[in-house]
A = this chain, B = another copy of it.
Amino acid sequence: MIVVMNPGAEQKEIDRITTKLKNMGYGVHLSTGENRTVIGVIGQRREEVAQTMEAMPEVEKVVFISRPFKLAGREFHPENTVIKIGDLAVGGEELVLMAGPCAVENEEQLMEAAVAVKKAGARVLRGGAFKPRTSPYSFQGLEKEGLRFLDQVRSKTGLYIVTEVMDQFTVAEVAECADIIQVGARNMQNYYLLRELGKIRKPVLLKRGLSATIEEWLMAAEYILSGGNYEVILCERGIRTFEPYTRNTLDLSAVPLVKQLSHLPIIVDPSHGTGIAELVPCMSRAALAAGADGLMIEVHPNPQEALSDGPQSLNPRQFKELVGSLKGVAASVGRTI
Contact = CB atoms under 8 A, between A and B. Distances in A.
A70 B219 CA distance: 37
Residue from A167, A169, A325 with most neighbouring chain B CB atoms (10 Å): A167
A257 interface: yes
A166 B192 contact: yes
Contacts of A168: 167
A211 interface: yes
A64 to B, nearest CB: 14
Contacts of A68: 134-135
A166 B242 CA distance: 25
Interface residues on A, range: 35 or more
Contact of A190 (B187, B223, B285): B187
Interface stretch (A73-81, A105-113, A121-129, A244-252): A244-252
B213 A211 contact: no
A134 B257 contact: no
Contacts of A189: 132, 134, 186
A5 to B, nearest CB: 23
Interface in A125-168: 132-137, 140, 166-168
A127 to B, nearest CB: 19
A214 interface: yes
Interface in A67-116: 68, 70
A249 B246 contact: no
Contacts of A246: 253, 257
A238 to B, nearest CB: 8
A7 interface: no
A36 interface: no
Contacts of A226: 136-137
Contacts of A278: 256, 260
A214 B253 contact: no
A291 B282 contact: yes
Contact of A288 (B191, B211, B289): B289
A255 B282 contact: yes
A249 B256 contact: no
Interface of A: 42, 68, 70, 132-137, 140, 166-169, 186-187, 189-192, 194-195, 210-211, 213-216, 219, 222-223, 226-227, 239-246, 249-253, 255-257, 260, 273-274, 276, 278-279, 282-283, 285-291, 325, 328-329, 331-333
11 contacts: A133-B191, A134-B189, A136-B195, A213-B244, A242-B242, A246-B253, A252-B286, A255-B282, A257-B279, A289-B289, A289-B329
